[in-house]
Amino acid sequence: MAKVLSGAGLRGQSAGETALCTVGKAASGLTYRGYDIDLLADKASFEEVAYLLLYGALPNRAQLTAYQDKLIGLRSLPETLKKALELIPADAHPMDVMRTGCSFLGNLEPELDAEEEHRTANRLIATLPAIVLYWYRFSHDGVRVDTLNAQVPSLAGHFLTMLHDKEPSALHTQVMNASLILYAEHEFNASTFTARVCASTLSDMYSCVTGGIGSLRGPLHGGANEAAMEMIEPWQSPDEAEAALLQKLANKEKVMGFGHAIYSERDPRNDIIKKWAKKLSEDVGDDHLYAVSERCEAVMWREKKLFCNADFFHASAYRFMGIPTKLFTPIFVCSRVTGWAAHVMEQRANNRIIRPSADYIGPDHSEWVDIDDRH
Ligand SMILES: CC(=O)SCCNC(=O)CCNC(=O)[C@H](O)C(C)(C)COP(=O)(O)OP(=O)(O)OC[C@H]1O[C@@H](n2cnc3c(N)ncnc32)[C@H](O)[C@@H]1OP(=O)(O)O
Ligand SMILES: O=C([O-])CC(=O)C(=O)O
């Protein structure tokens, strides 16, 4: 399933070792610590997967209960952070809010010693949903949401409750839980590699995660779920979608939510989120968005042999749950923080500063010219 990889962008080069994840290799093509993604998305809770990534093994029931309670206990935001979030304008991008929120928390509760790394990771997992939604609800609706929601055990339910002011349906909680699992970890992708490079200088966890957020934001990476929604939203029928896509391909435009740096034929996460998008489409009585998405998938494969990556059907799934488009990539952050943190810990445990070389392509020798003599 993996491509033959070579060329720019460090493609095809191993940049280190990991025990966390395989991409494009065994079984379904994606495993977390040896567990197949299909199995995890079907059977696990996001908290179980976070525990697996951070502590190295699946928790037993008592460990999982204790871990869920720990995360609930870490959910509340400090008042100073809430005040800072209230200063950010409503037209800011939520990914910028998360970058600032993460960094700001690092000022209030710095990670002074790497021995605190699990505590810092768990604090970020517990607070990132509230960081984005406290700001979003305050700046858009003038509401100061409850960032604790102690009666809602799962992070999936906590996110949706803060967004919609009511506890979500069982279906929405289930889909959100699966989505958080699908996005949790993906080997040496750009944002994780950013976090690892930062960790390799012996920097703190907040800096590593803040850097990861910045890398995830771009539309060639996590930002593609938002960009895919913006692309398909105006299309009212599959035929309209097909015509517009063919035009984009003729213009040599990148089509967001398609293709992958490592997978060659399919992204194993797509089948899973696509199945949930279909179920949600039936649940809300959607009459075109799912059909438009399916047509895009067929056209891109027929024309270019390009397949949907994890982001494409996430767009319609999130829309069917009433999630505003600009909160799509922030959900990815709420999930991927587990992978970033686990990679930071792995890097620290066997560290050498990451410092590759470059092929120099500039002039051999440049003559000095005094400033007043320059053109
Ligand atoms: C969760 C995630 O982060 S998944 C990735 C999310 N990103 C996107 O969906 C953005 C759209 N996709 C892309 O831009 C790319 O497929 C990437 C960034 C994911 C991977 O990039 P690369 O590894 O460079 O892609 P790859 O080597 O397979 O490209 C091969 C060819 O297909 C083209 N191609 C790849 N993806 C697309 C696309 N989505 N739309 C149109 N053409 C594409 C490339 O331009 C390239 O054409 P060329 O040979 O004429 O230059
Ligand atoms: O692996 C990648 O390059 C991008 C990706 O799918 C992810 O980070 O989930």
Ligand nearest to C-alpha 300: 1
DSSP, res 125: H
Q: Which amino acid is at 177?
A: N
Domains contained in the chain, number: 2
The answer, yes or no, to whether any atom of ligand 1 lies below 6 A from the CB of 59, is: no
- From 132, 135, 39, select the one nearest 332 (Cα to Cα): 132
| Residue 93 maps to a domain | yes
Q: Are residues 43 and 118 in the same domain?
A: yes
339 C-alpha to ligand 2 centroid (Å): 11
186 C-alpha to ligand 2 centroid (Å): 6
Ligand nearest to C-alpha 227: 1
Query: Which of 303-313 are b and which e, b meaning 16 or more Cβ less than 10 Å from the residue's Cβ?
Result: eeebbbbbbbb
Contact indicator for 47, 64 with CB cutoff of 8 Å: yes
> Which one from 186, 260, 314, 343 is the annotated catalytic residue?
260
Q: Are residues 271 and 294 in the same domain?
A: yes
The whole-model pTM stands at 0.97
How far from 241 is each of 131, 223, 227, 311, 346, CA to CA, in Å?
A: 36, 21, 15, 18, 44
Side-chain-facing half-sphere of 229: CA atoms under 13 Å: 20
| Residue 16 maps to a domain | no
| Per-residue confidence (pLDDT) for residue 87, from 0 to 100 | 98
| Residue 3 maps to a domain | no
Q: Are residues 167 and 32 in the same domain?
A: yes
Q: Which tokens sit at 134?
A: 């406290």
Interface TM-score (ipTM) > 0.90: yes
The answer, yes or no, to whether any atom of ligand 2 lies below 6 A from the CB of 261, is: yes
Q: Which tokens sit at 234?
A: 């105006």
158 C-alpha to ligand 1 centroid (Å): 34
Distance of alpha carbon 223 from the chain centroid: 9
Q: Which tokens sit at 34?
A: 């040896």
| Residue 360 maps to a domain | no
Closest-lying ligand 1 atom to the alpha carbon of residue 228: 9
| Residue 10 maps to a domain | no
What distance in Å separates the CA atoms of residue 230 and residue 255, rounded to the nearest whole number? 11
Q: Are residues 259 and 170 in the same domain?
A: no
Q: Are residues 114 and 248 in the same domain?
A: no
221 C-alpha to ligand 2 centroid (Å): 7
Give, using CA atoms, the residue closest to atom 50 of ligand 1.
252
Residue-wise pLDDT tens digits, 92-141 = 999 999 999 999 999 999 999 888 999 999 999 999 999 999 999 999 99
Q: Which tokens sit at 61?
A: 């029931």
264 C-alpha to ligand 1 centroid (Å): 11
Q: Is 113 a catalytic residue?
A: no
H or E segment and range at residue 192: helix 190-200
* Bridge partners for 208 per DSSP: none
Q: Are residues 141 and 207 in the same domain?
A: yes
The answer, yes or no, to whether any atom of ligand 1 lies below 6 A from the CB of 315, is: no
The answer, yes or no, to whether any atom of ligand 2 lies below 6 A from the CB of 189, is: yes
The answer, yes or no, to whether any atom of ligand 1 lies below 6 A from the CB of 29, is: no
| Residue 43 maps to a domain | yes
Q: Are residues 206 and 284 in the same domain?
A: no
The answer, yes or no, to whether any atom of ligand 2 lies below 6 A from the CB of 310, is: yes
| Residue 202 maps to a domain | yes
Ligand nearest to C-alpha 339: 2
Q: Which tokens sit at 197?
A: 């490079």
| Residue 2 maps to a domain | no
What distance in Å separates the CA atoms of residue 73 and residue 187, rounded to the nearest whole number? 29
pLDDT at residue 328 is higher than 60: yes
11: left (phi over 0), alpha (psi -120 to 50) or beta: beta
Residue-wise pLDDT tens digits, 5-46 = 778 999 989 999 999 999 998 656 999 999 999 999 999 999
CATH number at residue 238: 1.10.230.10
Q: Are residues 337 and 205 in the same domain?
A: yes
Distance of alpha carbon 184 from the chain centroid: 7
Q: Are residues 107 and 201 in the same domain?
A: yes
Q: Which tokens sit at 20?
A: 């966390």
* Bridge partners for 226 per DSSP: none
H or E segment and range at residue 32: strand 30-32
Residue-wise pLDDT tens digits, 159-182 = 999 999 999 999 999 999 999 999
* Mean pLDDT confidence for 233-257: 98
The answer, yes or no, to whether any atom of ligand 1 lies below 6 A from the CB of 259, is: yes
Q: Is 311 a catalytic residue?
A: yes
The answer, yes or no, to whether any atom of ligand 1 lies below 6 A from the CB of 173, is: no
Q: Are residues 154 and 229 in the same domain?
A: no
> For residue 331, what pLDDT band results from cuts at 50, 70 and 90?
very high
Q: Are residues 103 and 228 in the same domain?
A: no
CATH number at residue 147: 1.10.580.10
The radius of gyration computed from the CA coordinates of the chain, to the nearest angstrom, equals 21
Question: 275 is in which domain, residue-wise?
Answer: 224-321
